[in-house]
Amino acid sequence: MAIELSTKAHRAIPGELRAAPHAARSRPWSERELVVLSWLAPLAFALAWEAFCRFGGVNRQVVPAPSAVLATAWTLAADGSLFVHLGYSLLRAATGFLIGGGIGFGLGLLVGFSRLAEALLDRSVQMIRAIPFLALLPLVIVWFGVDEAGKIFLVSLGVLFPIYVNTVLGIRQVDPKLLEVAKVTGLKLRGRITRIILPGAMPSILTGVRYALAVAWLALVIAETIATTKGIGFLAMDAREFLQTNVIVLTIVIYAAIGVIADGIARALERRLLAWHPNYAKTPSFKGERR
């Protein structure tokens, strides 16, 4: 009887009111809205920094305002020197990334597929990985002098290890059940590698690529402390000698901007290569709803 009365009462409620709880749910965040939200914190930080420099009584020679940094960037861009230094740094980073990334990926494949290769190579690679860049710097100068080869070597060395480690990890984490199914269905070794192992390892490999992009710039900063007359690192070191803090801050902002752009490229690569993977589809907000 109670159930029947409850049903009649529910039917008596207008449809608009019955739908109200569902109407409270708004649509999911769009990709464009999420991108805008991601830039709110950096923008708020820049505005707070500008206000602090203008009204906080700070010595602008010590902490330059963002507007002063932008003015410096405009001046250096107008005479073309900024693009020259940026071009040299990008070329060194890209060359080192391709060389070190290729070697790291090759070694990762070898060690990931072969326990014998792991026994022969992995311990040596891990020992070299533990050596800090600064400890190698004097030896690099002795080996390569102060030419471009030494700088590219340091970047290559830094990039090699993240890609190597994540390639080995990705191959070893492939589900063994999938490999068993492949064997049962008669899939040949080449097919197992190209259709199961490499696609399964790709998320880990691309994570290594993203990390390697950050390490490449860290290695480049150290590499450009070697006697050089071109590059963002040289621009910062030269500005330090003349206490040009606005130029120093500008180089830091450039490194940060390049890092964001490189990470965006890596994310786009992930979305393209891992479109089949459910975890790499367009990321919705929590439970697909606004909070």
The per-residue pLDDT string of the chain (291 residues; one tens digit each, 9 = 90 and over) reads 444 444 444 455 455 444 444 444 466 777 777 777 877 888 888 888 888 877 776 676 777 888 888 888 898 889 888 899 899 889 999 999 999 999 999 999 999 888 898 899 989 999 988 888 778 888 888 888 777 888 899 899 999 999 999 999 988 888 778 777 777 777 777 777 778 888 888 888 988 998 998 888 888 888 887 777 788 888 888 888 777 888 888 988 888 888 888 888 888 888 887 777 776 655 444 444 444
- Joined together, the tokens standing for residue 149 give 């080869």
Q: Give the domains, in start order, of the chain with CATH numbers.
A: 65-276 (1.10.3720.10)
- Joined together, the tokens standing for residue 197 give 């192992």
Instruction: Please report, to the nearest 10 degrees, the dihedral formed by the alpha carbons of residues 77, 81, 82, 85 taken in order.
Output: 160
Distance CA 214, CA 220 (A): 10
Q: Identify the pLDDT of residue 280.
A: 65
Q: Identify the pLDDT of residue 23.
A: 45
Distance CA 73, CA 124 (A): 44
Count of all residues that appear for the chain in the document: 291
Q: Identify the pLDDT of residue 36.
A: 77
Distance CA 36, CA 40 (A): 7
Q: Identify the pLDDT of residue 163.
A: 94
Q: Identify the pLDDT of residue 281.
A: 59
Distance CA 235, CA 37 (A): 33
Which amino acid is present at 189? L
Distance CA 140, CA 133 (A): 10
Residues 96, 160: contact at Cβ < 8 Å?
Answer: no
286: left (phi over 0), alpha (psi -120 to 50) or beta: beta
